[in-house]
Amino acid sequence: MQCRSCGTEIAGKAIVCYRCGASTTDPVRRPAPVRARRSPLLSLAAAALLVLLALYLGQASRTAADPGPLQLTAGVLAAAAVVLLVVRMVRRR
């Protein structure tokens, strides 16, 4: 690799030229990390999906031979939906 400033042959891994001190790479300016803003609709959709799933499981548990696990799952899903909505409301402020 050749120094871009003085043309001296330098090691390929060199960050700066040993002769003139010129850097071999352009300064990398990293943009400030942009916080990935989650779409508010996304969590809302997820909560709606959980509620629907809970309703479905609740319905299915009526006809199931052993409704216990289904009802438990439905309850957990409904709780998760509530938590999701609460977290969403809290974060908005």
Site residues (CB under 5 A) for Zn ion? 3, 5-6, 8, 17, 19-20, 22
CB of 89 to Zn ion, least distance (A): 59
Residue 77: closest CA among 40, 45, 52: 52
Whose Cβ is closer to Zn ion: residue 10's or residue 50's?
10
Whose Cβ is closer to Zn ion: residue 8's or residue 59's?
8
Whose Cβ is closer to Zn ion: residue 6's or residue 42's?
6
Rounded to whole angstroms, how far apart are CA atoms 67 and 51?
18
CB of 25 to Zn ion, least distance (A): 13
Distance, first Cα to last Cα, the chain: 54
Rounded to whole angstroms, how far apart are CA atoms 75 and 49?
14
